[in-house]
């Protein structure tokens, strides 16, 4: 009998030990989730683009989605079910939906109220202007994978539409489609146009790669596995700016890849004959369809601060290692600002001050949160919350910190206050703004009624 009791006690310990560790981990996770939810309520703007919607009636609580999310605490477990607890951190990777074993997660767009400053788009990615499409960030989606997929889908939609419509009579050179922008979406659309046998031309105001080409050197680019047209697959989850541009190189060096670089589109008009006329400083191009694959950042937003016109005040950082032994101020609270501050702090002899107007960072990636904690400990990067620059001088910067003014020595300033989206340009074309996923017919009816002006 005594041996039996010993066996029962031993068996209970074997079962209880891992069970106790599991319960302890779950309790710890619940605490972390509550903290994340509290942070999410502070930054409650919600997602601005694609994000997960979870059907809790199908969720089995396996936590596969929470482990797959590369942005940290976007998802968490609440009451044994997956939940979106920090929607402001979501940038639309979609990995959570890919790995869910029961299909309980669907990627959806932001609510109409959130997307009021985004262009109207049908499910075919068509705007309120017939045969004018939008792909990528301009339509509200971040992430290279999304841009690539939308560029491809746009061209499929263009090809199907043009095949169903009679070709207009036109004496001059007429393209099937003009693609405005040669970033990820524009490159994908161009390659798909080659596959589809369409007569196309891509116009880019800067260099190949669009906004990616302006990233700081060796900037880590977050992506997801995605297949480009013409059978080229990008398999990595993260890679440097240089590696991404190198990946694109062979694709964009084909003889049938037609792109005009350093050419800015000034106006886009659509005549009664249905033909688009796109004007640039170098001429006019005509086409049956247009795909806008522009970035959303547009021109950098300025602070309207005294002394902002000084040469030392800049809005884009590409070569951090060109700046050494300097007192530097970085203004902003997004990933670009944080990454620039950390990059500059890593250079010889620099002391960097990162100024942010809020009390904490709310929208930066989890990997930047972890890196920033490490860099700050080295004493060459100081973060000042609740602060704003009020004046730039030749050798100093005056900050207002919680109502008090503080003057600090300064050689260079970088401002990362976001960009001014090209909404005025889009409206000049006739593109309407508002809720997502309208049918083509409802968009055109609303346009005719004047509600999209």
| Phi and psi torsions of 157, nearest 5° | -65, -40
Note the pLDDT tens digit of each residue in 104-124. Answer: 787 766 554 345 678 888 889
Q: Which long-range contacts (CB under 8 A, 24 or more apart) does 127-130 make?
A: 127/292, 127/431, 127/432, 127/443, 128/430, 128/431, 128/432, 128/443, 128/444, 128/446, 128/447, 128/452, 129/270, 129/429, 129/430, 129/431, 129/447, 130/270, 130/274, 130/440, 130/444
Tell which residue, 353, 336, 328, has the closest CA to residue 220.
Answer: 336
Contact 293, 138 (CB under 8 A): yes
Q: What domains, with CATH codes, occur in the chain?
A: 35-117 (3.30.70.20), 119-298 (3.50.50.60), 300-418 (3.50.50.60)
Residue 248 and residue 209 in contact, taking contact as beta carbons nearer than 8 Å: yes
pLDDT tens string for the chain (453 positions)? Answer: 555 666 666 666 666 667 667 666 666 655 555 555 455 444 445 555 567 888 877 787 888 888 888 776 788 877 778 888 777 677 666 778 778 887 878 776 655 434 567 888 888 999 999 999 999 888 877 678 888 899 999 999 999 999 999 988 888 899 999 999 999 999 999 999 999 999 999 999 988 887 777 776 666 665 667 788 887 777 776 677 788 888 888 889 899 999 999 999 999 999 989 999 999 999 999 999 999 999 877 678 899 999 999 999 999 888 888 899 999 999 999 888 999 999 999 999 999 999 999 998 877 887 888 889 889 888 899 999 999 999 999 999 999 999 899 999 999 999 999 888 888 899 999 998 875 444 445 445 544 443 333
Q: Tell me the torsion sign for CA atoms 194, 196, 197, 202.
A: negative
Q: Which of 282, 296, 335 is nearest to 183 (CA)?
A: 296
Dihedral (C-alpha) 14, 15, 16, 19: value to the nearest 10 degrees? 120
């Amino acid at each position: 009998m005594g041996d039996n009791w010993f066996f029962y006690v031993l068996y209970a310990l074997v079962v209880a030990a891992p069970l106790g560790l599991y319960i302890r981990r779950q309790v710890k996770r619940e605490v972390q989730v509550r903290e994340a939810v509290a942070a999410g309520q502070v930054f409650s703007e919600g997602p601005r683009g694609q994000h997960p919607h979870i059907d809790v009636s199908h969720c089995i609580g396996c936590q596969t989605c929470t482990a797959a999310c590369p942005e940290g605490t976007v998802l968490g477990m609440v009451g044994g079910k997956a939940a979106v607890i920090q929607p402001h951190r979501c940038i639309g990777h979609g990995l959570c939906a890919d790995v869910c074993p029961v299909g309980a997660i669907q990627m959806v767009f932001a609510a109409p109220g959130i997307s009021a400053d985004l262009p109207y788009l049908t499910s075919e990615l068509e705007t309120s202007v017939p045969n004018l499409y939008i792909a990528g960030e301009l339509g509200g989606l971040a992430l290279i994978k999304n841009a690539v997929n939308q560029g491809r889908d746009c061209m499929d939609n263009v090809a199907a539409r043009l095949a169903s419509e009679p070709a207009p009579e036109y004496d001059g050179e007429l393209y099937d489609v003009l693609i405005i922008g040669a970033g990820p979406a524009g490159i994908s659309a161009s390659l798909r146009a080659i596959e589809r046998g369409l007569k196309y031309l891509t116009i880019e105001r800067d260099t190949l790669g669009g906004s990616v080409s302006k990233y700081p050197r060796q900037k880590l680019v977050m992506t997801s596995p995605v297949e480009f047209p013409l059978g080229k697959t990008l398999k990595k989850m993260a890679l440097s700016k240089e590696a991404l541009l190198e990946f694109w190189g062979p694709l964009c060096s084909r003889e049938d890849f037609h792109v005009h670089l350093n050419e800015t589109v000034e106006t886009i008009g659509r005549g009664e004959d249905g033909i688009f006329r796109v004007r640039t400083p170098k001429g006019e191009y005509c086409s049956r369809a247009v795909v806008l694959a522009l970035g959303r950042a547009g021109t950098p937003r300025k602070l309207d601060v005294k002394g902002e016109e000084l040469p030392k005040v800049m809005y884009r950082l590409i070569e951090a290692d060109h700046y050494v032994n300097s007192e530097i101020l970085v203004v902003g609270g997004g990933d670009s600002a944080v990454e620039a501050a950390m990059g500059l702090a890593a250079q010889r002899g620099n002391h960097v001050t990162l100024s942010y107007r809020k009390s904490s960072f709310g929208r930066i990636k989890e990997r930047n949160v972890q890196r920033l904690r490490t860099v700050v400990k080295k004493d060459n990067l100081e973060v000042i919350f609740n602060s704003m620059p009020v004046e730039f001088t030749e050798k100093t910067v005056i900050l207002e910190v919680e109502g008090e003014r503080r003057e600090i020595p300064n050689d260079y300033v970088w401002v990362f206050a976001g960009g001014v989206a090209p909404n005025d340009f889009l409206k000049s074309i006739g593109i309407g703004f508002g809720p997502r996923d309208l049918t083509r017919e409802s968009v055109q009816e609303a346009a005719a009624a004047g509600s999209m002006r």
